[in-house]
Chain A
Amino acid sequence: MPLPAASRLFRSVMRTHLIPVAHVVSKPPKHNVTAVEQAIAMTVLFATILVPSGWVLAQLEDYKTK
């Protein structure tokens, strides 16, 4: 492809459009979640997933031989 035609394709892609800035305003949090609370919540959720399913998987050999 001749070079001027190829550069025209690049130029149309690289033309950046000016978009007005969105006026976003945020306030400080209404409910603070401390690091301790986050740790508790993460532990509880991980345990919810891992403990019951882990128990079933650990008992599998017992279930097979019953």
Chain B
Amino acid sequence: MLGQAVRRFATSAIRSSHYAEGPGKNLPFSVENKWRLLGMMVVFFGSGFLFPFIVVRHQILKK
């Protein structure tokens, strides 16, 4: 009985995990607030998408 409990604890996730687990917790960004998430997505995807257009603008203005 005690042996079973020790074995269960020894292999349990509680013992081994030092990262948060579950939906929304396995990400490098927070999904707690949906409007903050929207802002983060706008910055992330918007900057990446806009960058080539800025490069084209820069190259055309150079000549």
Contact = CB atoms under 8 A, between A and B. Distances in A.
B49 interface: yes
A59 B38 CA distance: 28
A64 interface: yes
Given A33-B34, A41-B38, A52 B61 contact: no
Interface in B31-63: 34, 38, 41-42, 45-46, 49-50, 53-54, 56-57, 60-61
A24 B46 CA distance: 37
Interface residues of A, number: 17
Main secondary structure of the interface of A (DSSP, over half): helix
Report, as a range, how many residues of chain B touch the other chain.
10 to 19
Given A44-B42, A66-B61, A56 B54 contact: yes
B53 A57 contact: yes
B61 A53 contact: no
A49 B45 contact: yes
Nearest to B32: A31
Nearest to A31: B34
Interface of B: 34, 38, 41-42, 45-46, 49-50, 53-54, 56-57, 60-61
